[in-house]
Structure 1
Amino acid sequence: MVGLQWTSGAAVDWQRLGYVAGVSALVVILVTELIVLYVRGQAQRRKDLPPGPQPWPIVGNLPALAVAKMHQNLQQLAAAFGPVMYLRLGSVPCVVVSTAEVARALVRASDEHLSSRPKLLSFSILTEFRTMGTAPSPGKLWHSLRKFSSSELLSVNRVASYEGTRREELSNMMQVLLETSKRSEAVNLKFWLFQTAANLTTRMLVNKRIYYGNKANSYQEEVEKEFEQFLQDRLYYITAPVISDYVPWLRFFSETMQGWRSKMEAYRDTEMSLFGKILELEKHRKRAAKGEADASYIPDFVDVMMEAPVDNGKVLDDKFIIKQALEFFGAGVETSATTVEWAMAELVANPEIMKRAQEEVDTIAGKDRLVQESDIPNLPFLTAVMKETFRMHPSPPLGFPRESTAQIEALGYKIPARTRIIFNAYAIHRDPAVYENPDEFKPDRFLQQHRNVNHLAAFDSYELIPFGVGRRMCPGYNLGNIIVLLMLANLIHSYDWCVPDGGSVDPIDAEMTGPVLCLRNPLSLVPKQRLGVPSF
């Protein structure tokens, strides 16, 4: 009986085991089918996307951007995967554009859906998405700001009305160079350019200068020092590597434990306080009221912003006027100074090009006055030098990040909504299919085969996009172009330049400062006044 029971019990156990095994096999089959279906689905979706490198778990392709010169790294990846490349940045889909042909096709297919901004932590804290550069598109505020910018604030007539102011500020800063020249000392050209660009901007913005050069009657040295630190910090924070911008479930870790939120909020309070001192909005209101009866009164940018009904028919409140002014400074001063520094580095490294540019300026401006803005249209070679500088050394080589607002079908691909869009200007400008010997500084290319390239057109010349492309192109492109040409023309007209003993110029040695591509070592040169040419 015992043996029978054991035999019977064993039989029952085997039945149970068989049942369990059958169920397990069914589960494995179902799970395998689900995995196969998922993989097939992902593969099908991936078929609709541009090619790209295989992403890592969780972080995706973020390591491709976690390098010192990400524009060059992305250029190298594009050489392997193609001019339109798909990346996954954490959980954020991203498309990188690396040729003019792809940029043209993408923008013409659906620029209206390529013009929004991603919701980065820095944008939310520093601008609250209410400035011209960060407001989402489509959106009433952005469209109002853009229309106001093009028709009023940065219109051709408005920019032209400040020509006398720009001439005065340039003359002021040229005196600093004259004093240095008399002592045969080297000048930190990057810092001089920074001060000059800052003065040109502050005079137009709030009718003040920050730097007096010789310190006589200097405007609050305390503010001057704060101003320099402000811009360095802003460049850092605006593109800060906050991991939760790409992996949202790590928000507590990055914003709280790493302290990004508290750091940015503290910086925001500092910059708002500083620019509150500089803008003095109440004084602007009183001055504007008195100026209405004065025919010679020229409103500055802040005066114009204080009167513009751009926020649902209402004027911007003081906080957002300050934030918009901060954006103008951040976007224009450093990039203008850096661009002219690159141009001077290339000219010093190519003395035959420098001589030719000087001869052209001498012919047009003569030797009895500074170069004026009205001379610029008659300086085609100098303009070609600046275009070639923009091409080889775009200050923001990856532009400002964009985000798609709808699915886009272009180039045979389907790019989903909320995809990060990066136009790699560095790669686009060095495309060997467009530019012969793209790594050589050859301004003549813009007088010959590329003479019709217009870097100031939003929808025409995709092979040269230093100010961006499409409707989200930098609204200050006209003013920025004037400032860099004016500074460069007068530097080479009034002075010869040489490298100090023991020094050297390497226009290839670059590094990133926030989003801006700079010379690794600031350009230090000795100015020598040219015989018979005025210096201020």
Structure 2
Amino acid sequence: MTILSFIIYTCIIALVLYVLVNLLAHNPNRLPPGPTPWPIVGNLPHLKGTIPHHTLAALATKYGPLVHLRLGFVDVVVASSPSVAAQFLKVHDSKFANRPPTAGAKHIAYNYQDMVFAPYGPQWIMFRKICNDHLFSYKALDDFRHVRQEEVAILARGLAGAGPSKVELGQPLNMCNANTLARMMLHKRVFGDESGGDDPKANELREMVSEVMFLAGHFTIGDYIPLLDWLDLQGIVKKMKKLHARFDKFLDIILDEHKVIASSGRYTDMLSTLISLKDDTSVDHQRKPSYIEIKALLLNLFIAGTDTTSNTVEWAIAELIRQPDLLKRAQEEMDSVVGQDRLVTEMDLRQLTFLQAVVKEAYRLHPSTPLSVPRMASESCEVDGYYIPRGSTLLVNIWAIGRHPGVWTDPHEFRPTRFLPGGEKPGTVVKANDFEVLPFGAGRRICAGMSLALRMVPLLIGTLVQAFDWELADGIKPNKLSMDEAFGLSVQRAEPLMVHPRPRLPPHVYKNNG
């Protein structure tokens, strides 16, 4: 049998199974509205375009804030308004605590042995507790405040020393975030020296993280039509496996170096704790992480902790460059509250009300993850008067919620004043309390690193605003700066932000910090 005839034979079997499944699983209950699915592929052809969250937002405009899609053999529901998202992530949160099977979780995230894609259960709870205890609790965050401030100061010193050279802002931002996380997890920097200069290893990490987000953002055919999974028709699985091997090698080096530190007992950092738990014979084997699980957790933290933070900061600076009056207002607030003789610190942030409004607006307009990491219904339920079948995949369109015309005035405009007293949403908090700004998701599977991001992002934006005036490279005028998005799981810029940072503080400020 030739390959072509085998593919035809497989498709015929898939068609027969599709018909049988739909006949047997015909549901008399009222499903949410959505476009009519095609045979076998369902609504996959309706996901045209290169930016899925845009396509799904357009479907919500036509069919409403709760849309049902049939992607291959999988029911998918998409929530695109705060009220519908709240029903899923608050009222029915316990029914949507698990993840659906995906190629990315299998081939990149160590076959579901990480924290993001692990089933809701003992392993996930163990990882979450370790992260909270060592990284994300109030005490841990306070203990590591000096680390964040030192790394941000190193970033500022490096940018100040760029001279006439143009800078791709995302690169030093990623290095800063990666080293901050590394010092919190491993008690050491992993890239560059304290001069803040460029590092090929940091650039490689950024490339790997960007590729993870790109590949994970695809609707992989095999996820929805399992019979075709082995064919890898899009070539995505092959790329995932190759990328996983690169990341695994990177993490092996980190683990091997840290075993020596862990055995010496010099530090009680998160990775040392994980290694000691693994080797502790008194700990129940079901509660002991394997090296694979430890690497999977590190993978999560490096990806989520570098890419999402850097992207949010990069979008915010781009928006401020496009509107010089907003940048000037933010700088005037900095000069008034902090002065020009030192860099802003985390202790200053509460007094910087306009800066906090800028941060909220960046999260609203450019959420780092525009579509929530998918969840799966463990049992059937009713949402907004519609039946949601057991096994359905849930996607929350965070990008669409942040631009919902029924919630926001001029939703596509970057306007921080909407969050100030007298604005339309002065009381909004970015912690899933009102579901109108959801950059971290909500419920049991809310982003574990939210508390860290809510300190790191304002500190980074505040430092870049206070310490520099900004010019676009290659003579581009602010009003001509492209704000197009690239395809991927995270909202990255289609074109990197190329800038000339111009120091606006006395030289000693950059030298004496960090």
Q: Determine if contact 1:154/1:479 at 8 Å carries over to the other structure.
A: yes
> C-alpha distance in 1, partners of 2:114/2:287?
15
Matched, 1:306 2:278: no
Q: Determine if contact 2:174/2:202 at 8 Å carries over to the other structure.
A: no
Pairwise CA distance, 1:145: 2.6
Shift of the 407–494 alpha-carbon distance from structure 1 to 2, 3 Å rule, reads: same
Shift of the 315–154 alpha-carbon distance from structure 1 to 2, 3 Å rule, reads: farther
> In the alignment, what sits opposite 1:198?
178
> In the alignment, what sits opposite 1:93?
75
Q: Secondary structure at the match of 1:244?
A: helix
> C-alpha distance in 2, partners of 1:443/1:239?
29
Matched, 1:272 2:236: no
Which residue of the other structure, out of 63, 73, 76, is the alignment partner of 2:45? 63
> In the alignment, what sits opposite 2:489?
515
> In the alignment, what sits opposite 1:131?
114
TM-score by length of 2: 0.87
Shift of the 470–487 alpha-carbon distance from structure 1 to 2, 3 Å rule, reads: same
Q: Secondary structure at the match of 2:287?
A: coil
Contiguous gaps of at least 5 residues in structure 1:
1-34, 292-298
Q: Which moved more, 1:326-335 or 1:148-157?
A: 148-157
Matched, 1:335 2:308: yes
Contiguous gaps of at least 5 residues in structure 2:
1-18
> In the alignment, what sits opposite 1:15?
none
Pairwise CA distance, 1:205: 2.1
Pairwise CA distance, 1:499: 2.3
Shift of the 224–386 alpha-carbon distance from structure 1 to 2, 3 Å rule, reads: closer
Q: Secondary structure at the match of 1:470?
A: coil
Q: Determine if contact 1:64/1:70 at 8 Å carries over to the other structure.
A: no
Q: Determine if contact 1:125/1:265 at 8 Å carries over to the other structure.
A: yes
Q: Determine if contact 1:384/1:443 at 8 Å carries over to the other structure.
A: yes
Q: Secondary structure at the match of 1:302?
A: helix
Q: Determine if contact 2:77/2:392 at 8 Å carries over to the other structure.
A: yes
> C-alpha distance in 2, partners of 1:424/1:84?
10
TM-score by length of 1: 0.83
> C-alpha distance in 2, partners of 1:321/1:39?
44
Q: Which moved more, 1:343-352 or 1:66-75?
A: 66-75
> In the alignment, what sits opposite 1:209?
189
* RMSD (CA atoms): 2.6
Q: Determine if contact 2:51/2:487 at 8 Å carries over to the other structure.
A: no
Q: Residues 44-443 of structure 1: matches in 2 within 5 Å?
A: 45=28, 47-126=29-108, 127-137=110-120, 139-180=121-162, 183-212=163-192, 223-224=201-202, 226-254=204-232, 260-279=236-255, 280-287=257-264, 289-291=265-267, 299-307=268-276, 314-443=287-416
Pairwise CA distance, 1:259: 5.7
Q: Rg: which structure is higher?
A: 1
> C-alpha distance in 1, partners of 2:82/2:456?
26
Pairwise CA distance, 1:334: 1.0
Pairwise CA distance, 1:512: 2.6
* Cα shift readout 1:286-324 (whole Å, capped 9, x = no counterpart): 34x134xxxxxxx33312433458986533122221111
> C-alpha distance in 2, partners of 1:328/1:222?
20
Shift of the 312–451 alpha-carbon distance from structure 1 to 2, 3 Å rule, reads: farther
Give 2:42's aligned amino acid.
G
> C-alpha distance in 2, partners of 1:74/1:233?
23
Q: Which moved more, 1:144-153 or 1:320-329?
A: 144-153
Q: Secondary structure at the match of 2:177?
A: helix
Matched, 1:476 2:449: yes
> C-alpha distance in 2, partners of 1:314/1:103?
33
Pairwise CA distance, 1:387: 0.4
State the percentage of identical aligned residues: 33
Q: Secondary structure at the match of 1:511?
A: coil
Q: Which moved more, 1:278-287 or 1:427-436?
A: 278-287
Q: Determine if contact 2:122/2:287 at 8 Å carries over to the other structure.
A: no
Q: Determine if contact 1:125/1:264 at 8 Å carries over to the other structure.
A: yes
Shift of the 159–264 alpha-carbon distance from structure 1 to 2, 3 Å rule, reads: same
> C-alpha distance in 2, partners of 1:166/1:103?
33
Q: Determine if contact 1:223/1:274 at 8 Å carries over to the other structure.
A: no
Q: Which moved more, 1:128-137 or 1:305-314?
A: 305-314
Shift of the 217–514 alpha-carbon distance from structure 1 to 2, 3 Å rule, reads: closer
Pairwise CA distance, 1:274: 1.2
Pairwise CA distance, 1:197: 1.6
Q: Determine if contact 2:155/2:196 at 8 Å carries over to the other structure.
A: no
Q: Secondary structure at the match of 1:516?
A: coil
> C-alpha distance in 1, partners of 2:261/2:117?
26
Give 1:96's aligned amino acid.
V
Q: Determine if contact 2:319/2:414 at 8 Å carries over to the other structure.
A: yes
Which residue of the other structure, out of 405, 415, 425, is the alignment partner of 1:450? 425
Q: Determine if contact 1:184/1:528 at 8 Å carries over to the other structure.
A: no
